[in-house]
Amino acid sequence: MENEPILQGQLAARLELARTDKHALNTLLHDYMPFIKKCVSGVFFKGQSKADNLTDAMLAFAHSVQTYNPGNGAFIQYAAAVIRNRLIDNARKELAVQKPLFSLSATGIEEKDVSWETVLSLQAFNRAEEEKNLRLEIEAVNSEFSQWGFSWETLLKKCPKQERSRNIAARIAGAVRENPGLLAAALETRQLPVTRLAAAFSRKTLEKYRQYIAALIILSQGDYPYVYSFVPQLFTEEDN
């Protein structure tokens, strides 16, 4: 994985030791300094101190070591999110103490004495953050897809071409979501429970759009707000 200098097995042992050993934590910080600096460069905008940001990023990295749970995915992605969130919070706090760009008065909109560069930088920063978050989510979702036996590339080939077919697939995915037993079975086996669903839906449809239906279920259950906003919302009985 990008910027991961330590093999996963070795990294797990080092993280465990660094939680209680200050020297081990300092060594880990030293080894991951290129990664930490890259995180800082990715969220810095004019008006902030690079030195302060680096210090905050190092503190956030140390915090991620203490709070990381292997069940939540790769450490490098988790640490990047912790650092990014801390730097974003700092940037927003700095802007909060500045005067607002505009205020409404009896005569209309009155411009205030604030830095346009700061506001425009934050807008550009927010757009870049959204793009970065979307890329990270796509990578995480693809990793989840692979555990179900498919990928973004194969999914695109299996997506229903007609709206009617997509609606039917969404209804099937919705039926799985609304049934705790079916949902638990699907998530545990990472397979669509075709045999049980065939009692209510066409087996041919289930087999043909298996990957698309599974993708809808995966996206609805995971923490993928950016990616999920691009897919059809799952149907309910009221929609029908």
Question: Are residues 65 and 15 in contact, defined by beta-carbon separation less than 8 angstroms?
Answer: yes
Four-CA torsion 213, 219, 220, 226, nearest 10 degrees:
-140
Q: In angstroms, rounded to a whole number, what is the distance separating the alpha carbons of residues 211 and 169?
A: 10
Q: Which residues of 201-213 are buried (b: 16+ CB within 10 A; e: fewer)?
A: beeebbeebbbbb
Which pLDDT belongs to residue 48? 61
Which pLDDT belongs to residue 214? 93
Alpha helices in the chain (DSSP H): 8-18, 22-31, 33-43, 50-67, 75-96, 116-147, 152-158, 163-178, 180-189, 194-197, 203-208, 210-221, 225-228
Are 15 and 86 members of one domain?
yes
Q: At what angle do helices 50-67 and 22-31 cross, to 10 degrees?
A: 120
Domain that holds residue 46: 8-101+110-147
Which pLDDT belongs to residue 11? 80
Which pLDDT belongs to residue 51? 78
Are 72 and 177 members of one domain?
no
Q: In angstroms, rounded to a whole number, what is the distance separating the alpha carbons of residues 165 and 15?
A: 48
The tens-digit pLDDT sequence of the chain (240 residues) is 444 444 455 788 889 999 999 899 998 888 888 888 888 876 655 556 677 788 888 999 999 999 988 876 778 888 888 888 888 877 777 666 554 444 434 334 344 433 444 444 555 555 666 677 778 778 888 888 999 999 888 888 888 888 899 889 989 998 998 898 999 999 899 999 999 999 999 999 999 999 999 998 888 777 676 676 666 544 333 333
How many domains is the chain partitioned into structurally? Answer: 2
Provide the CATH number for the domain around residue 66. 1.10.1740.10
3-class secondary structure, 92: helix
pTM, to two decimals: 0.47
Which pLDDT belongs to residue 126? 58
Are 205 and 192 members of one domain?
yes
Are 69 and 14 members of one domain?
yes
